[in-house]
Amino acid sequence: MKLKIVLAALGASLSVVSIAAEPIVVHRDPGCGCCEQWAAQVRQQFGRRVNMIDDRGRPAFQRVHGVPARLSSCHTAIVDGMVFEGHVPIADMKRVLALRPRGVSGLAVIGMPVGSPGMEVPGQSAQPFNVIAFGAERETIFARHGG
């Protein structure tokens, strides 16, 4: 009996480890350089491999993953089952992954605001931008940055 419990616990912990070790997949507009800069920050903060895919059919990928067209940016990432559209700050990604709010399937930053991760410009101050939480039934402001 104890052996079964130990094996079950070991199996559960291995599942958690294997999920955490999965690479982060990013679909981007082909050749977009700021996506590489954002991905480097994600790689450093998450300590995981990031697979970058140049995707000419990204709008279809976005639709499949429930990204509203009005929230579109230059890349779409899948991290532990959640969707991240555009230059979402890593701290916000980690917070939503820890909280897993009901009805939220991802976060988005519209466009490419200066000062967002991957869009830092030396000598320029950050533009204000919002991080939008989205899901099947709603869109809300998750965080405000810059300005």
Secondary structure (DSSP) of 118-143: T---TT-PPPPEEEEEE-SS-EEEEE
| 78 inside domain | yes
Predicted confidence at residue 27, as pLDDT, reads: 97
pLDDT above 90 for 113: yes
What's the pTM value of the predicted model, to 2 decimals? 0.84
| 91 inside domain | yes
Predicted confidence at residue 43, as pLDDT, reads: 95
| 15 inside domain | no
| 17 inside domain | no
| 64 inside domain | yes
Of residues 2 and 103, the one with the higher pLDDT is 103
| 95 inside domain | yes
> Dihedral (C-alpha) 52, 134, 144, 98: value to the nearest 10 degrees?
-70
Predicted confidence at residue 74, as pLDDT, reads: 94
Give the range of the structural domain holding residue 102, as residue numbers without chain letter: 24-145
Unique residue bearing structure tokens 């700021």: 34
Predicted confidence at residue 21, as pLDDT, reads: 72
Predicted confidence at residue 136, as pLDDT, reads: 83
Range of 7-21, 64-78, 111-125 with top mean pLDDT: 64-78
Predicted confidence at residue 20, as pLDDT, reads: 54
| 53 inside domain | yes
What percent of the chain shows pLDDT beyond 70? 86
- In this structure, what DSSP letter does residue 111 have? S
| 65 inside domain | yes
- CA contacts within 13 A on the Cβ side of 40: 9
pLDDT digits (tens, 9 = 90+) for 53-111: 999 999 999 999 999 999 999 999 999 999 999 999 999 999 999 999 999 999 999 99
Average pLDDT over residues 40-57: 95
Query: In total, how many domains does the chain have?
Result: 1
Predicted confidence at residue 116, as pLDDT, reads: 93
